[in-house]
Chains A and B, each alone.
Chain A
Amino acid sequence: MISVEGLTRTYRRPRTSLFGARPEVRALRGVSFDIQAGGRFGIVGESGSGKSTLVHLLAALDRPTSGSISFRGRRIDTLPERRLGFLRSELQIVFQDPLGSLDPRMRVRDIIREPLGRAPGGRERVAELLDAVGLPADSGERYPHQFSGGQRQRISIARALAPRPSVLIADEAVSALDVLVRAQILDLLADLVERFDLTLVFVSHDLAVVRRLCDTVAVMRQGEIVELGAVDEVYDDPRHPYTRELIAAAPSLRGALARLEEG
């Protein structure tokens, strides 16, 4: 479905002095992997590990410095925007910040049908989507700030599903939510992936969350994939010391829930 080969991305910072060289930030240093159709691919790493850069490249919102990305066998890293139409409807993103990713000046119905552009028949589709993500039917008339964090993320998911994509990228989609709401949204995502037969790319700094949702996981550190494999294998038998660190450091969802019940 998605094939990534030797991907690098180097950002050049603005020069700090007139004659000084522009400092470079190597956000990705040669990343390769394949995502199978229907797969649930997790990407784990701490902030600054290059996860977001990778997401932007996968969605063709940014261009790689070198390497290639193919989507259903077609190179997308070299195509001009006007020829990316197929990708724009097939691949959608749910972002981290449930408020920042929704335009405060737009009604929910306009947000959800934005990916459809000026295509007709939006009204029924919005109603369908609101129902699919478990929001009240009258939500469409309201504005994002009238909703809670979890509900906003549902709006975001509804928007992503609007063009009937085959790939859904969740970029830290549950990180800003508190534990209980996080569990609900994770359930919703799992349910929707099943129901609409989606390929899921789930990006998180939390290995426990990835384990719950994904079958394959790539562990990233400093712009490189340090470990890649079936999620249970990686979790039960981590080979890279960094992965071990991550597993030890991350509080598990179950643990957090247990603490919540005790307290």
Chain B
Amino acid sequence: MTTAVRTRNTSLVVGAVLVGLVVVTALVSFAWTPHDPLLVDAAVRLRGPGGDYLLGTDKFGRDIASQLMVGARTTLYVGVVAVGIAAVVGTPLGILAGMSRNWLGELVMRVNDLVLAFPALLLAIMFGAVYGASTLTAMIAIGIATVPSFARIARSGTLQVMGTEYVLAARAAGRSRRWIAGRHVLPNISGLLLVQSSVSFAIAVLAEAALSFLGFGTRPPTPSWGRMLQESQELLAVEPRLALVPGAAIAIAVLGFNLLGDGLRDRFDPRLEARR
């Protein structure tokens, strides 16, 4: 029982590899890129892949491989900040709602439903219109829109933990609600939250790409996968490569985080918890 054999978790492995690929690419881009991703050079515009330019150049003669690498930074940056906001705001709200048995918990969840009903992209476009489009406003808007999913997960996990005998024992021992939240609830729902983070990260990556594509996200000249897609639009018929490359990158990142989330879910399934 102490040395339980773990079944192979393919989702976790593949997801971790894909996410690792994106992370490593972003990290390497700080130290080295094949070319300056922002260097405009009309002489080499729309070069095909191969030779000096691994993935070719775009309509301004910028190196696509370099843009892709720096774009990975933007993607991860947005994901980390958006999921961070959602987790930091949503988790305490969910725990509060799960632990309070009066109107307060009910109120939190109803407001939560309200935000949940509001589309993330619409919120981001409104933010962009009011505060000016930028990576920052996109991140904050995506973060706010992701808060409810964290609050929900945290609440349902909290309700489960609050029903256990170890919480009853802690109450009988005179421990405060804050103690119970910190010592019992949070550690026991951390697995759920990790899964939610990974899944939310995938959604955030997609949302950032969509916003940049619409012109409400990352501003030029900062490379972003969504903006690369947008810039490829007018040349789609002639140079589909320009859309396929950032498209594939987005797909890899989203798939990676989703698989990672699935893999983590298998690992942290509360029904398996007791047997761990």
Contact with B along A87-127 (1 / 0, CB 8 A): 11101110111011111111000110011010000000000
Q: In chain A between 47 and 95, which residues have their CB closer than 8 angstroms to a CB of chain B?
A: 56, 59, 61, 84-85, 87-89, 91-93, 95
Q: In chain A between 136 and 157, which residues have their CB closer than 8 angstroms to a CB of chain B?
A: 145-146, 156
The reply on B172 being an interface residue by CB < 8 A is yes
Residues in A with CB closer than 8 Å to B168 are 56, 61, 93, 95, 101
Q: Give the interface of B toward A (CB within 8 A).
A: 1-2, 164-166, 168-175, 179, 183-184, 187-188, 273-276
Q: Interface centre among A56, A87, A145, by most B CB within 10 Å?
A: A145
Residues in A with CB closer than 8 Å to B171 are 61
Residues in A with CB closer than 8 Å to B188 are 103-105
Task: Output the nearest chain A residue to B274 by Cβ-Cβ distance.
Answer: A99
The reply on A42 being an interface residue by CB < 8 A is no
Q: How far is the CA of A89 from the CA of B173 in the complex (A)?
A: 7
Residues in B with CB closer than 8 Å to A146 are 2
The reply on A40 being an interface residue by CB < 8 A is no
The one of A95, A104, A117, A159 in contact with B273, judged by C-beta atoms closer than 8 angstroms, is A104
**Contact of B1 with A145 in the complex, beta carbons under 8 Å:** yes
Q: How far is the CA of A95 from the CA of B168 in the complex (A)?
A: 9
**Contact of A105 with B175 in the complex, beta carbons under 8 Å:** no
**Contact of A163 with B164 in the complex, beta carbons under 8 Å:** no
- Chain A: how many interface residues by the 8 Å CB criterion? 33
**Contact of A114 with B175 in the complex, beta carbons under 8 Å:** yes
**Contact of B169 with A84 in the complex, beta carbons under 8 Å:** no
**Contact of B165 with A96 in the complex, beta carbons under 8 Å:** yes
Report the 8 A-B pairs with minimum CB-CB distance, sorted nearest first.
A88-B174, A115-B173, A101-B165, A105-B187, A103-B166, A95-B165, A100-B165, A59-B172
Task: Output the nearest chain B residue to A103 by Cβ-Cβ distance.
Answer: B166
**Contact of A89 with B276 in the complex, beta carbons under 8 Å:** no
Contact with B along A9-41 (1 / 0, CB 8 A): 000000000000000000000000000000000
Nearest-CB distance from B146 to chain A (Å)?
Answer: 26
Task: Output the nearest chain B residue to A99 by Cβ-Cβ distance.
Answer: B274
Task: Output the nearest chain B residue to A117 by Cβ-Cβ distance.
Answer: B175
Nearest-CB distance from A53 to chain B (Å)?
Answer: 13
Residues in B with CB closer than 8 Å to A95 are 165, 168-169
Residues in B with CB closer than 8 Å to A101 are 164-166, 168-169
**Contact of A92 with B173 in the complex, beta carbons under 8 Å:** yes
Q: How far is the CA of A89 from the CA of B2 in the complex (A)?
A: 34
**Contact of A114 with B173 in the complex, beta carbons under 8 Å:** yes
Q: How far is the CA of A106 from the CA of B170 in the complex (A)?
A: 12
Q: How far is the CA of A105 from the CA of B189 in the complex (A)?
A: 10
Q: How far is the CA of A111 from the CA of B170 in the complex (A)?
A: 9
Q: How far is the CA of A183 from the CA of B188 in the complex (A)?
A: 33
**Contact of B165 with A89 in the complex, beta carbons under 8 Å:** no
Quick one: given A106-B183, A145-B1, are A100 and B164 in contact (CB under 8 Å)? Answer: yes
**Contact of A102 with B166 in the complex, beta carbons under 8 Å:** yes
Quick one: given A104-B273, A145-B276, A146-B2, are A163 and B165 in contact (CB under 8 Å)? Answer: no
Q: List 22 A-B contacts (CB under 8 A).
A: A61-B171, A84-B174, A88-B173, A89-B174, A92-B173, A95-B169, A99-B274, A101-B165, A101-B166, A102-B166, A103-B164, A103-B187, A104-B274, A105-B184, A106-B184, A106-B187, A110-B183, A114-B175, A115-B175, A117-B175, A156-B169, A163-B173
Residues in A with CB closer than 8 Å to B187 are 103, 105-106
Nearest-CB distance from B258 to chain A (Å)?
Answer: 27
Q: A101-B169, A162-B173 are in contact. List 20 more A-B contacts (CB 8 A).
A: A61-B172, A89-B174, A92-B172, A92-B173, A100-B164, A100-B165, A101-B165, A101-B166, A101-B168, A103-B164, A103-B166, A103-B183, A104-B276, A106-B183, A106-B184, A110-B183, A114-B170, A145-B274, A159-B169, A163-B173
